[in-house]
Structure 1
Amino acid sequence: MKKRFVLMAYAAASAAILLNHERLLSWLDGGGIERVPLVIGGAVLLGLFPVVPFGVIAGLIGAQYGPFWGSVINVGSSTAAAALTFLAVRTIFQERGRRFIASHPKVDRLALRMERHAFMTIIWARVLPFVPAMAVNIIAAIMRMSFLSFAAATALGKIPVMIAFSVIGSHIFTSWKKAIGTLFIYCMFLAVVYAVDRLWNICFKGRSRDL
């Protein structure tokens, strides 16, 4: 259900963008360096309260500022949003975070992986778009993982995702072929990551039974 919801949200947002692309192009053309702080603040806010899938926001930022600076802004703002959530849960909402985990039994496996390999699990979770980001933030905050390790793993994991969305966004109104080609490469990358993760799980479970 989570995967279907994410796919439906992306499809709906993409359709809305295509239907309103002329207004979006007009807004993007009016952007400049003076608007960067506002764009970053808006992206962080949308990262904290994901009303719209962040991939859509990242694509629009890529369309406005290009692949390189779009990627920089996207990685920085999405990492900042995750870091703020981490700090809020750790300092204020510990009890609510524990209730959230208790009410979602399916995150137990994710919590177990983070207890054993926190840094690499967070990188993996950020690379795969279907892993719930909020659950990752909350579990890491409740654990004894340091803030700097969490922020570093989050930023590293978001780099390939945000580069892909920024490149797609920079081409979506000018070259559909390049946009689709980038999307195809990104999907192949996700397939490889997912396959490696499945293989690792099989090997890990086998070793666990032997022990």
Structure 2
Amino acid sequence: MDQLFLDIVQNERPFAWLYQFFLMVLVSMIPFAPIPVLAAYIASKHAFFPGFAINMLGTTLGSFLLFLLSKSLLRQVALKYLTKRQYLTKYLALIEKNGFLAVLLGRIIPVLPSAGINLIAGISNVNLGAFIAATFLGKLPIILAFSLAGHQIAAGNWDTVFIVALYGLALFLTGKKLMRKWSQ
């Protein structure tokens, strides 16, 4: 099993890109999954645009599927989880007020894991079109950055990787600051 997984992520099987796509779909549905690491690794195994497309489309489809699951099957579980965390109920109130903007900002500034945003948006009144548009636009900069980092690591260009790492750190710190503000 381990060898099969390695063959898939290292492009040593026919249609490995398709397996990588479905792996990104699956991983994007798991809270706290190492999406940045996997996105960089997948991008390092392809030319830039195909690696970026696998990552972007895979994570967007995974977000969409978890959103739909949250709307139907996971609604009670998500509500129970939300009521135990004050900052999540504040985010739910923000989503109820302006769904598109809340999802977009949640994607751009990583206050919550992507799966958390999907679950919260699913139990809210966010319309499907607004969710997909905000998800795609919000994921674009971060997936672009991680795909670029992976591609540059493969090329041995560590200057770009350093800049992308600084960008990721700035987003992380901004997210932590917002999370503290929402927790008060």
Query: TM-score scaled by structure 2?
Result: 0.80
SS in 2 for 1:134: helix
Q: Is the 8 A contact 1:66 1:167 kept in 2?
A: no
Partner of 1:167: 148
- Structure 1, unaligned stretches of length 5 or more? 1-23, 202-211
Q: Aligned partners of 2:164, 2:113: CA distance in 1, in Å?
A: 24
Partner of 1:19: none
Identity fraction in percent: 24
Partner of 2:103: 122
Which of 121, 125, 148 is 1:140 aligned to? Answer: 121
Pairwise CA distance, 1:86? 0.9
Partner of 2:159: 177
SS in 2 for 1:131: coil
Matches within 5 A, 1:1-211: 28=10, 30=12, 34-50=15-31, 52-173=33-154, 174-185=156-167, 187=169, 190=171, 194=174
Q: Is the 8 A contact 2:30 2:115 kept in 1?
A: no
Query: TM-score scaled by structure 1?
Result: 0.70
Q: Is the 8 A contact 2:31 2:113 kept in 1?
A: no
Q: Aligned partners of 1:134, 1:45: CA distance in 2, in Å?
A: 11
Pairwise CA distance, 1:187? 4.7
Q: Aligned partners of 1:28, 1:76: CA distance in 2, in Å?
A: 19
Structure showing greater radius of gyration is 1
Greater share of helix residues, 1 or 2? Answer: 1
Cα root mean square deviation, aligned: 2.7
Name the count of aligned residue pairs.
Answer: 171
- Structure 2, unaligned stretches of length 5 or more? 1-5
Q: Aligned partners of 1:72, 1:149: CA distance in 2, in Å?
A: 21
Pairwise CA distance, 1:182? 3.1
Partner of 1:208: none
SS in 1 for 2:110: coil
